[in-house]
């Protein structure tokens, strides 16, 4: 699904990623953990194609295709989805309208007709039920005045609507209380399948109690310094990141 080879990236003059290698197969969930400033969010932004970051070396492949030079919307059309740590507000644009635009742009790029309104409505109904979202919520302006939990739930709702091949959840647990965390995690679990892959970026182990990863990677100083199974997350929780820092 996703293959990252020797990825180096910087923002302004600062090197942040210094040779990332990562293989994610369809059906897998990978967790990327690491202390603040280790490059976790940079990695998600670079995979999504944020042009504020400059890729200086290495490549990103999605299903064998090198997407390193693709514009962010092209990556989205190919099935990359990023759940933002800080979703932005777009006043006056309802969640429904935003989703309709996004879905139809992707369909257009993939040579499909616009989705008929009845199909769209049906999909909205199904996905909002799946994620326990009140449909009134969908006519509100995108993220405007949303609570932290609502914003994150809205991100997962968009993920459900867009049905990506690769979903990256960037600190989806930050700012969530335990109930919201459970709802969001349940949503993600319901969307998991043999055909898609999920990368969970998180600082803490607690989200991984709900979204159980197949692999855990520790990012430090722009490199993956340790990889393992889900038990690695517990080890980290117990020993703290100083353990990693002292080893590197």
Partner 1 sequence: MNKYTEDDLKIELETKEYEYGFYTDIESDTFPNGLNEDIVRALSKKKEEPEWMTEWRLEAYRAWTQMTQPEWANVHYQKPDFQAISYYSAPKKIDANKTLDDVDPELLAMYKKLGISIDEQKMMNNVAMDIVVDSVSVATTFKKTLAEKGIIFCPISEAIKEHPELVKKYLGSVVPQKDNFYAALNSAVFSDGSFCYIPKGVRCPMELSTYFRINQAGTGQFERTLVVADAGSYVSYLEGCTAPSRDENQLHAAVVELIAMDDAEIKYSTVQNWFPGNKEGKGGVYNFVTKRGLCEKNAKISWTQVETGSAVTWKYPSCILKGDNSVGEFYSIAVTNNYQQADTGTKMIHLGKNTKSTIISKGISAGKSQNSYRGLVQIGSRAENARNFSQCDSLLMGNNCGAHTFPYIESKNTTAKIEHEATTSKIGEDQVFYCNQRGIPTEKAIALIVNGFSKEVLNKLPMEFAVEAQKLLEISLEGSVG
Q: Which helix (H) or strand (E) holds 229?
A: none
User: CA end-to-end span of the chain, whole Å?
Assistant: 30
Secondary structure (3-state) at 57:
strand
Distances (CA, A) of 229 to 34, 135, 179, 218, 236: 15, 38, 26, 11, 12
Map the footprint of partner 1 across residues 44-83, applying CB under 8 A: 48-52, 69-77, 80-82
| Contact track, partner 1, 107-136, x by CB under 8 A | --x---------------------------
CB 184 within 8 A of CB 172: yes
- Structural Rg of the chain based on CA atoms: 18
Choose between 108 and 239: whose C-beta lies nearer to partner 1: 108
The yes or no reply on residue 221 touching partner 1 (CB under 8 A) is: no
Q: Which of 93, 120, 130, 225 binds partner 1 (CB under 8 A)?
A: 93
Q: How far is the CB of 198 from partner 1 (least distance, A)?
A: 16
Q: How far is the CB of 100 from partner 1 (least distance, A)?
A: 10
* Residues of this chain that bind partner 1 (CB under 8 A): 48-52, 69-77, 80-82, 84, 87-93, 97-98, 101-103, 105-106, 109, 141, 158, 162
């Amino acid at each position: 699904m996703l293959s990252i080879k020797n990825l180096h990236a910087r923002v302004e003059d600062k090197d942040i990623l210094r040779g990332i290698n990562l293989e994610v197969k369809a059906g897998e969930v990978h967790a990327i953990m690491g202390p603040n400033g280790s490059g976790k969010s940079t990695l998600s932004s670079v995979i999504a194609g944020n042009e504020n970051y400059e890729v200086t070396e290495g490549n990103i492949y999605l299903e064998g295709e090198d997407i390193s030079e693709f514009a962010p919307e092209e990556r989205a059309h190919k099935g990359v989805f990023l759940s933002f740590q800080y979703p932005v507000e777009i006043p006056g644009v309802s969640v429904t309208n935003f989703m309709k635009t996004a879905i139809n742009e992707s369909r257009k790029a993939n040579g499909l007709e616009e989705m008929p309104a009845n199909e769209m409505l049906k999909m909205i109904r199904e996905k909002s039920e799946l994620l326990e979202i009140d449909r009134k919520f969908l006519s509100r302006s995108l993220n405007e005045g949303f609570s932290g939990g609502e914003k994150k739930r809205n991100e997962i709702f968009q993920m459900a609507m867009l049905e990506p091949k690769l979903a990256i959840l960037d600190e989806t647990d930050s700012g969530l209380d335990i109930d919201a965390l459970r709802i969001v995690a349940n949503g993600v679990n319901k969307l998991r399948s043999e055909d898609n892959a999920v990368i969970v970026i998180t600082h803490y182990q607690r989200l991984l109690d709900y979204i159980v990863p197949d692999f855990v990677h520790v990012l430090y100083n722009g490199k993956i310094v340790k990889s393992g199974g889900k038990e690695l997350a517990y080890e980290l929780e117990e020993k703290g990141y100083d353990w990693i820092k002292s080893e590197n």
